[in-house]
Amino acid sequence: MIIAKTIRLILISTAICVFCVWQQTQIVKLSYNKQDKISLCSQLLDRNTFLRYNLMMLESSGNLSKSLVTFDDSYEMPHFSQIVDLRSRQEKDRLALNAAKRYSQVQQNKEKPNLFLSLFSPRSQAEAQIQKTR
């Protein structure tokens, strides 16, 4: 009888120990996954910044004029009336709609007050109103 209780106690304690070890290994695996995702996110943000910079430099009229001046001395920057937009009307409408959506999302994010900060912030008491002068 005592041997059966002892064996049962040993089996239960072993099962509890195995469960605790398994739980700790899962925590370690999750932390490694989190670190991998953070490093991947960082790499993607760096790549995004690099690509945006290159895109901005490629589309910059000043940059184009500098690169074209080195090849051809007769290059002149076009006047605004000489620039032709070759995008279709549907594409222009789609771009305008996307810009409006992004603007409304930004405005919605700005309008969400933080209740905790609004209770302890003197901002509402110290706001000054600016009047436009003509």
Domain spans of the chain, in order of start: 2-111
Place of tokens 């490694």: 32
Q: What pLDDT does residue 125 have? A: 47
pLDDT at res. 99: 84
Q: Residue 97, Cα to own-chain centre: how many angstroms?
A: 21
pTM: 0.38
Average pLDDT for 36-60: 83
| Mean pLDDT calculated for residue range 26-37 | 92
- Is 126's pLDDT higher than 50? no
Residue 65's pLDDT band (cuts 50, 70, 90): low
- CA 23, 25, 28, 30 torsion: positive or negative? negative
Cα separation, 64 vs 76, whole angstroms: 11
**pLDDT tens-digit series, residues 67-120:** 666 665 666 666 767 777 777 888 888 888 888 888 777 777 665 555 555 555
Of the two residues 104 and 6, the one the predictor is more confident about is 6
Q: Read off the amino acid at residue 121.
A: S
pLDDT at 7 over 70: yes
